[in-house]
Structure 1
Amino acid sequence: MKRISIFKNFNYNLVAVLVSNAVFAFGISILSRKLGPVAFGEVNSFIAFIAMFLPLIIHGSSTYYMREYSKNDNEEEIKRFFNYTLLLFILLTLVFSIFFTFSKMYEISMLAKIIYVILICFSQAIDLQWVYRAKEATQKIAICLSVTSVINLCLVLVFLPVMTPEIYLYLVGFTKVLNSVLIIIVEKSYRKYFTFIILSFTSILKFKPIKGFFPVLILSLSGLLNLVYIKSDLVMLSYFGFDLEAGYYSSAYTIITLVFIIRATLLSVLMPSLIKTYNKNIFDFQERLTVYLKVGATLGIIVTGLIYFSNELIVSILFGQLYLEAIPVLNILLIMNLIVFFNMGLSASLVAIGKDKEFLFATLLAATLNIVGNFIFIPYFNMYAAAITTLLSELTIIIMSLIILHQGIYDINIVKVFIKNIIQFCLFGFIAVFITVVEQQYLQDTLNVYILQIINSIIFVSIFMFLILISKKITKPEISLLMRVYK
């Protein structure tokens, strides 16, 4: 694979994300109307429940082996990746199958639940996207993601007349596996990778030890805990009997999830070069970290402002008038979304410097805060409690990340670098919000609400970008850093 610049990698990934998000949004829009808030909330609660445990397969393994592969380009890391992920695939499939055999947690059919678990866990176990990201050559990921997204939409449309939660789960599981298989097939070494998969199953049956198992498990637990306090909201709303609110919350969080995909894509593109610079030159590391913080802040504020000023329009288009009750929760989650974007450079840095155990403790603290808060407050404040506890959990993560990095990197004042960049961008965001709100007061009685929201969004982004340009907070050398390939 030919290594390309961060900018080109991001562009390829952005195209794929836009295609997949557009297709996903259209499919969800159709599905939410077909099923209604209660059934829509249940199927998303089930998906969220399974998703909480998927980091045990893919999060730690992809992060750890990408970090090792970025250092030495050794394909043995790919073999070790399969050894770990396929073992976890087998274990999780067995655990979930036993659990759903005796549990009546969801009204979805037993067969659909088990088949979905098998498909989704296997798709994660053979997902080699991290290899392309480590090699900083993500064109093929973009192509595969776009193709499978379109296939998924076509299948949704074909089965729409008879759509049920069970059929939807089959379609999602199938397209996830298809995407992972395509990513392997489009690489020249695909035969070698399939051989690795077969050898890994053989190795598991012989109970051979897996190199790097415990470091990977620690990273996986961090990812698990992170998803626990994100996905457990839906599960707990259903558990306490707030099925309608679970539907509203699911619609709001679906919008945030679409944004998270952009953030996750950008993070995965930035991480390999951050790992390389940290291991070679600490000053190059600081330079890149500063740029990544600025990029994260810029995208976070733009996306948050766009959704906030057009929230009614977005909810109406995606889910219909029945879901407008989700807007207050969506606005709370938007603040959480902004914090997640601010934390992007910090999360990548923690991986780069190998602070896996410390990050596990941070996510454990955040997950505990979320779960305890949900158990105490959801019975009284339903979906609003879920949104606020998730926001507080993300604040905990960013504070702990700063503490860990400050103690782990002595040559750079991480806290100073972070605060200096984030506060300046937040100030520009507040100014843009203030001017947009003032403009809204003058126009709200004369324009249709949807037209007004479109105008507000355009004005907000224009003002924010204008302030960045005239202040030169993102310089030409920083832009060129994103354009060149790091050797």
Structure 2
Amino acid sequence: MKNNQGENSPSIKKNTLFNVIKTISSIIFPIITFPYISRVLRAENVGKINFGNSIVSYFSLIATLGVTTYAVRECSRVKNDKNLLGKIASQIISINICTMAFSYFILILCLMFIPVIKDYELLILIQSVSIIFTTLGADWLNTAMEDFKYITLRTFIFQFLALISMFLFVHKPDHYLIYAIISVLSSSGANITNIFYRRRYCKVRFTMNMNWKRHFPPIILLFAMLLSQNLLNNLDTTMLGIMKGDYQVGLYTTAVKIINIVSQVVASIAWVVMPQLSYQFAQKNYNKINKLLHDASAFTVALGLPCIVGINVSAPEIIEIIGGQEYLSAVPCLHILTISMAIGFLNGIYGNMILLPSKREKRFMIACLVSAGVNMVTNYIFIPYFGINAASAMTVLSSMVITIIVTSGIEKDIKFGNIMEMFKAPLMGSLGIIVIAIISKSLISNFWIKIFVVVACSITFYVAVLIGMKNEFAMSMLIPIIQRLSKTRRRKSTL
């Protein structure tokens, strides 16, 4: 069957917009609720929540293996063949259900025999329900079909309901378990609707004919890569909890949450372009590949650079808004983590947009494994002496290790275009943000007025610079809006 993916795929710009909206809606919940939660639950209970999440993340990884990334890649290649799509999707979700059962078996054994996590037993069990929702929902099928409009609407509705529930039911420190339940519904509850919605693509059912020989080797390879990434993302939190206690975890995870909020929005472009990159790599169409990579890189630079600068110039104010004055000790940690975030953007382009779609996940896996090993050893040495600042600095070091390994194996045919042109306008705009922040802080004493002026003026100035310097990303987003407005005016004038 002829595959017309390149022609029939939804617009990258529309999908990027939908995925950014979806990602933003996924992080609006913590943005709005965390200032409230951090004050109601206090740092100790916030630490418990995040320590529990770090433990559950390991078992979630066992349950999902490397299924999500693998499934998006494989299903996107056969998306126009409904029967073959249904067959492959059924095999993958059946494998996923088996690994989920195995994951729960290991989790129960750990809760029974490991004293360190036994004290968090009920909390961890509540948080682990997200594993069931994620597995049965199989959201990777919607991503492979590039149905980001549905994903966005569904996520927004569940986030809104969770937001209301949080303010209705969480009022004192003892309510941290209720908050855990609401967080699970917020983060993964929407996946349950996929069971009914995915029928429009193909028939997905449990099957004993899972074709392990075909699917399992690449899944295991991706699992090793994701395990190392998960260790890298959660090992510092787990080791801080064991070595320094819940309070230090509460401080550290507040800074990490801020970084993750920004990173998720910027990194959302990866899931938009991955299905099409997987197809184009299979066709060895490097002209199309380079165009997709160029556009994704321009998006990352234009959105990521001002965020990095903005966090650094307003770190104390951001921490105080998100957590309150109790969390101001996390400011140096936040500064350090912005370096890791910048390196992470680069790693995301090389790893998630080049190595994975081109089926060279082995190199990415090696990079992540080496990085996780470095992170574990250095955390063990330095966390006892320097606490959260050591954890954040070692995260930067680990990110640099990944960069060195992944960038050394990129094909010569991969070209990103004019890098300097990509950075020119964002750099000028970001310098303006620094100047605006310095002037505003020296002239305005009122906390909230100062924050409003810095944010409003910075956004206005930055967008004006991008448009004034005719930045490629800004113009590509602006021109369709202008064209649509002009069409609307013409229609009105003809009536």
* TM-score bracket, shorter-length normalisation: 0.7 to 0.9
The match for 1:284 among 264, 288, 299 is 288
CA positional deviation for 1:24:
2.6
**Aligned mates of 2:190, 2:147 — CA distance in 1:** 17
Which residue of structure 2 lines up, in the alignment, with residue 316 of structure 1?
A: 320
Which residue of structure 2 lines up, in the alignment, with residue 455 of structure 1?
A: 453
User: Does the Cα contact within 8 Å between 1:252 and 1:326 map onto a contact in 2?
Assistant: yes
CA positional deviation for 1:167:
2.8
Q: Does 1:370 align with 2:375?
A: yes
User: Does the Cα contact within 8 Å between 1:346 and 1:401 map onto a contact in 2?
Assistant: yes
Q: Which amino acid letter does the alignment assign opposite residue 411 of structure 1?
A: D
Q: Which moved further from structure 2: 369-378 or 251-260?
A: 251-260
Q: Which amino acid letter does the alignment assign opposite residue 383 of structure 1?
A: I
Aligned-pair Cα RMSD in Å: 3.0
**Aligned mates of 1:55, 1:243 — CA distance in 2:** 23
Structure-to-structure mapping, 1:28-427, within 5 angstroms: 28-58=34-64, 60-73=66-79, 74-106=85-117, 108-117=119-128, 119-161=129-171, 163-176=174-187, 178-189=189-200, 192-193=203-204, 196=205, 199-200=206-207, 209=212, 211-280=214-283, 281-347=285-351, 348-405=353-410, 409-412=411-414, 414=415, 417=416, 421=419
**Aligned mates of 1:442, 1:154 — CA distance in 2:** 38
CA positional deviation for 1:340:
1.8
**Aligned mates of 1:115, 1:328 — CA distance in 2:** 33
**Aligned mates of 1:255, 1:477 — CA distance in 2:** 29
- Provide closer, same or farther for how the CA distance between residues 210 and 90 of structure 1 changes in structure 2, counting only shifts above 3 A: farther
**Aligned mates of 1:316, 1:260 — CA distance in 2:** 20
- Provide closer, same or farther for how the CA distance between residues 318 and 108 of structure 1 changes in structure 2, counting only shifts above 3 A: farther
CA positional deviation for 1:170:
3.0
Q: Which amino acid letter does the alignment assign opposite residue 346 of structure 2?
A: F
User: Does the Cα contact within 8 Å between 2:65 and 2:220 map onto a contact in 1?
Assistant: no
CA positional deviation for 1:241:
2.3
User: Does the Cα contact within 8 Å between 1:3 and 1:136 map onto a contact in 2?
Assistant: yes
Q: Which amino acid letter does the alignment assign opposite residue 150 of structure 1?
A: F
User: Does the Cα contact within 8 Å between 1:443 and 1:452 map onto a contact in 2?
Assistant: yes
- Provide closer, same or farther for how the CA distance between residues 59 and 426 of structure 1 changes in structure 2, counting only shifts above 3 A: farther
- Provide closer, same or farther for how the CA distance between residues 444 and 34 of structure 1 changes in structure 2, counting only shifts above 3 A: closer
* Residue-by-residue CA offset, 1:302-351 (whole Å, 9 max, x unaligned): 22223333333332222222112212111111221122223332221111
* Residue-by-residue CA offset, 1:151-203 (whole Å, 9 max, x unaligned): 2223323321465333333333345553111133234449933xx1xx24x66
User: Does the Cα contact within 8 Å between 1:340 and 1:394 map onto a contact in 2?
Assistant: yes
CA positional deviation for 1:18:
2.4
The match for 1:27 among 33, 40, 44 is 33
User: Does the Cα contact within 8 Å between 2:92 and 2:215 map onto a contact in 1?
Assistant: no
Report the secondary structure of 1:334's partner residue.
helix
Q: Does 1:446 align with 2:428?
A: no
Which residue of structure 1 lines up, in the alignment, with residue 490 of structure 2?
A: none
CA positional deviation for 1:410:
3.6
User: Does the Cα contact within 8 Å between 1:89 and 1:122 map onto a contact in 2?
Assistant: yes
User: Does the Cα contact within 8 Å between 2:270 and 2:348 map onto a contact in 1?
Assistant: yes
| Identical-residue share of aligned pairs (%) | 21
Q: Which amino acid letter does the alignment assign opposite residue 133 of structure 1?
A: T
- Unaligned runs of 5+ residues in structure 1 are none
Report the secondary structure of 1:352's partner residue.
coil
**Aligned mates of 1:477, 1:69 — CA distance in 2:** 33
CA positional deviation for 1:467:
4.7
TM-score, normalising length: structure 1 = 0.86
CA positional deviation for 1:146:
1.0
Report the secondary structure of 1:343's partner residue.
helix
**Aligned mates of 2:24, 2:427 — CA distance in 1:** 27
TM-score, normalising length: structure 2 = 0.85
CA positional deviation for 1:482:
10
User: Does the Cα contact within 8 Å between 2:25 and 2:156 map onto a contact in 1?
Assistant: yes
User: Does the Cα contact within 8 Å between 2:232 and 2:375 map onto a contact in 1?
Assistant: yes
CA positional deviation for 1:427:
6.0
CA positional deviation for 1:454:
3.9
**Aligned mates of 2:463, 2:478 — CA distance in 1:** 19
- Unaligned runs of 5+ residues in structure 2 are 80-84, 482-495
Report the secondary structure of 2:147's partner residue.
coil
User: Does the Cα contact within 8 Å between 1:296 and 1:344 map onto a contact in 2?
Assistant: no
* Residue-by-residue CA offset, 1:420-472 (whole Å, 9 max, x unaligned): 52x66556555545444445544433212443344344454455545544554
Aligned residues: 466
Report the secondary structure of 2:443's partner residue.
coil
* Residue-by-residue CA offset, 1:5-25 (whole Å, 9 max, x unaligned): 111112222222223322232
Which gives a bigger RCO, structure 1 or 2 (Cα 8 Å, sep 6+)?
1
**Aligned mates of 1:266, 1:167 — CA distance in 2:** 33
User: Does the Cα contact within 8 Å between 2:52 and 2:123 map onto a contact in 1?
Assistant: no
